[in-house]
């Protein structure tokens, strides 16, 4: 779900950077309000590195294979660190593997980062009332699936409504529907993996689930 | 990005200040993405070729990095000539090749190739750490810079953990080519295991960083020095970018 360089018009890519800079500024402002913001940096960085490595895991979804994103789990665990973490991860992916792009770094951060932050707030609802494995799994699924679902919607909207080629209205609608339908298996897979990983963490290291 | 051929080179490009290279790269990338006139696409291609010549990098190195072009780009370049536009160039019965779609396909494909090649050449002419330090020197917030440095430092460690765990899973009969609930569960446990390891490791990393004085010195200090060649390279980038943008605006009229 990375938009590469060369597709989007300059105002859109610049707009993506403007929104990302604003979002990163807001997140850093929130992080700096903590007693010792430096204490959380190694933790957020190592978890970011784990998510980066986890994105190398591929799943066969015939006729192709998809890689994990885990942006919902990342949002649930990292909270306000999620958007800076995603920006760093996308920069490394663009530089190391040529995935995504440099001009589209801002837009791609919006596509993946904002849904991750939404997932953080969805997962935090788990703390209302008593928490157990069932509830953790349920909110984990909601966080994981909604993060990918929202990313797909943002991706489709940005790509199709700012695309510089002439496409008819019916063609645009069909493309959006096909794109969404193609991602349904991925939404379910991400939801299930996030739910199972959240329950695993609840049993093995519940401190991690309290977020950073 | 850390290909040994790239970083050990001795071309003019390798000796430039990483800050100048980063800023020039972004200026060039944005000006390239503004171009949509066929004539200027050619100019962009020539500029990219000249940059490659100046870098001293081998063609095989660049081609190796370009081996896996984006799926989206591939899909767009292959489908646009048939789905976009109205002027039919070749009627193939069920589908027809259209002029507007073909032009869009060429524009998108050329822009992508020029931007990614320019980025590959420039980013592979210094170590990634030098670029992170350059960004910090240019005002990147310390939280972002520290996170980027730590992520880069521990990527290999965590990748090794992952490889080790994957090998153990394989030895126990895990077949990753099969899509099943059991496989999803095992993969989730693998991710969970990596997260727990990373989380526990981060505690002692923070303590050792503190012992070494983390947070007590200004991380914006740097030893970058702008030389005459840096100014010249920056000037050339600005001229190319400005020429492309103004020519594009003039040609659109």
**In this structure, are B112 and B10 located in the same domain?**
yes
Q: Is the bond into A63 cis (omega within 30 degrees of 0)?
A: yes
Interchain contact, B206 vs A59, CB within 8 Å: no
Q: Which ipTM did the prediction report?
A: 0.89
Q: Do B104 and A84 touch (CB under 8 A)?
A: no
Same domain, B30 and B149: no
Do residue B95 and residue B178 come from a single domain?
A: no
pLDDT of residue B2: 45
Q: Pick the range with the lowest mean pLDDT from B23-37, B96-110, B113-127, B215-229.
A: B215-229
Residue B91's beta-bridge partner residues? B96
pLDDT given for residue B3 in this prediction: 46
In order of start, what are the domains of chain A with their CATH numbers?
10-209 (1.10.1760.20)
Residue-wise pLDDT for B190-231, tens only, equals: 999 999 999 888 888 888 888 888 776 666 667 778 888 899
Residue B149 and residue B197 in one domain:
yes
Torsion of CA A12, B35, B139, B204, to 10 degrees: 70
Distance (Å, rounded) from C-alpha A136 to C-alpha A13?
37
- Judge whether B119 lies within some domain: yes
Report the domain count for chain B: 2
Instruction: State residue A64's pLDDT score.
Output: 73
Token pair 């919607």 in the structure block, residue: A153
Tokens of B9: 């080179």
User: How high is the pLDDT of residue B203?
Assistant: 84
Same domain, B124 and B168: no
**pLDDT, position B176:** 75
Residues B117 and B148 in one domain: no
Closest residue to A165, CB basis, from B26, B32, B104: B104
B16, B97: one domain: yes
Could you tell me if B155 and B201 lie in one domain? yes
| A37 in B contact zone (CB under 8 Å) | yes
Report the pLDDT value the prediction gives residue B158, as an integer from 0 to 100.
92
Q: Which domain holds residue B151?
A: 141-211
- Cα–Cα distance measured from residue B40 to residue B33, given in angstroms and rounded to the nearest whole number: 11
Residues B62 and B166 in one domain: no
A205 touches chain B (CB under 8 A): yes
User: What span, in angstroms and rounded, lies between the C-alpha atoms of A94 and A99?
Assistant: 5
Q: Give the residue on B whose Cα is nearest the Cα of A169.
A: B84
User: Nearest CA of chain B to the CA of A39: how many Å?
Assistant: 7
Residue A182, pLDDT score: 82
pLDDT < 70 positions in chain A: 164-169, 172
- With respect to residue B21, please indicate whether it lies within any of the assigned structural domains: yes
- Mean pLDDT over all residues of chain B? 87
Whether B20 and B110 map to the same domain: the answer is yes
- Write down the pLDDT at residue B100: 84
B196/A201 Cβ within 8 A: yes
- Tokens representing A122 are 């969805």
* Whether residue B1 has pLDDT greater than 60: no
Q: What is the DSSP letter of A35?
A: S
Domain check: are B183 and B69 in the same one?
no
CA A77, CA A117: separation in Å to the nearest integer?
A: 10
If you count them, how many residues does chain A have? 212
pLDDT at A93: 86
Residue pair B57/B121 in contact (Cβ under 8 Å)? The answer is yes
Q: Quick: pLDDT tens for A179-188.
A: 788 889 899 9
Is 90 exceeded by the pLDDT of residue B35? yes
pLDDT at B180 over 50: yes
* DSSP β-ladder status, B96-98 and A58-61: unpaired
* A116: exposed, middle or buried (Cβ count in 10 Å: 0-12, 13-18, 19+): buried
**A161-165, B4-8, B10-14: least confident range:** B4-8
Interface size between A and B, measured as CB pairs under 8 A: 240
Show the beta-strand stretches assigned E in A13-110: 58-61, 64-67
pLDDT score for A164:
64
pLDDT of residue B33 exceeding 50, the answer is yes
Residue B71 has pLDDT above 80, yes or no: no
Distance in angstroms (rounded) separating the CA atoms of residues A137 and A186 = 18
The dihedrals phi and psi of B204, each to the nearest 5 degrees, come to -75, -25
Set of chain B residues whose Cβ sits within 8 Å of the Cβ of A109: none
Q: Are residues B72 and B116 in the same domain?
A: yes
Residue B220 maps to a domain: no
Is a pLDDT exceeding 90 seen at residue B10?
A: no
């Amino acid at each position: 779900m990375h938009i590469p360089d060369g597709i989007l018009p300059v105002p859109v890519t610049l707009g993506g950077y403007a929104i990302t800079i604003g979002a990163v500024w807001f997140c850093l402002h929130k992080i700096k309000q903590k007693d010792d913001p430096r204490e959380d940096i190694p933790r957020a960085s190592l978890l970011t590195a784990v998510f980066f490595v986890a994105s190398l895991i591929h799943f066969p979804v015939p006729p192709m294979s998809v890689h994990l994103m885990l942006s919902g789990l990342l949002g649930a665990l990292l909270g306000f660190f999620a958007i800076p973490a995603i920006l760093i991860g996308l920069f490394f992916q663009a530089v190391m593997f040529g995935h995504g792009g440099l001009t589209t770094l801002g837009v791609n951060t919006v596509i993946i980062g904002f849904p991750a932050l939404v997932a953080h707030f969805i997962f935090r609802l788990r703390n209302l009332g008593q928490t157990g494995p069932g509830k953790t799994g349920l909110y984990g699924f909601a966080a994981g699936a909604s993060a990918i679902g929202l990313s797909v919607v943002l991706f489709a909207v940005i790509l199709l409504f700012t695309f510089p080629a002439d496409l008819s209205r019916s063609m645009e609608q069909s493309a959006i529907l096909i794109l969404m339908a193609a991602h349904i298996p991925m939404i379910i897979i991400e939801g299930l993996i996030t739910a199972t990983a959240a329950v695993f963490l609840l049993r093995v290291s519940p401190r991690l689930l309290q977020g950073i | 990005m850390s290909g040994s051929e790239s970083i050990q080179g001795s071309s003019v490009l390798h000796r430039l200040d990483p800050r100048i290279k980063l800023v020039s790269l972004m200026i060039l990338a944005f000006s390239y993405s503004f171009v949509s006139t066929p004539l200027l696409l050619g100019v962009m291609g020539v500029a990219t070729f000249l940059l490659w010549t100046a870098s001293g990098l081998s063609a095989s190195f660049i081609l190796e990095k370009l081996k896996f072009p984006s799926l989206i780009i591939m899909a767009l370049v292959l489908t646009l000539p048939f789905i976009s536009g109205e002027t039919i160039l070749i009627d193939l019965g069920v589908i027809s090749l259209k002029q507007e779609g073909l032009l869009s396909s060429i524009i998108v494909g050329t822009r992508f190739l020029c931007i990614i090649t320019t980025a590959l050449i420039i980013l592979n002419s210094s170590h990634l750490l030098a670029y992170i330090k350059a960004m910090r020197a240019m005002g990147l917030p310390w939280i972002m810079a520290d996170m980027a440095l730590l992520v880069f430092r521990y990527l290999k460690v965590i990748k090794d953990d992952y490889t080790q765990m994957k090998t153990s899973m394989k030895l126990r009969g895990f077949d990753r080519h099969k899509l099943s609930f059991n496989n999803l569960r095992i993969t989730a446990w693998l991710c969970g295991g990596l997260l727990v390891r990373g989380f526990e490791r981060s505690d002692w990393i923070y303590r050792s960083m503190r012992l070494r004085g983390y947070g007590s010195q200004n991380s914006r200090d740097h030893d970058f020095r702008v030389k005459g060649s840096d100014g010249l390279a920056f000037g050339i980038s600005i001229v190319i970018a400005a020429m492309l943008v103004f020519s594009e605006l003039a040609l659109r009229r």
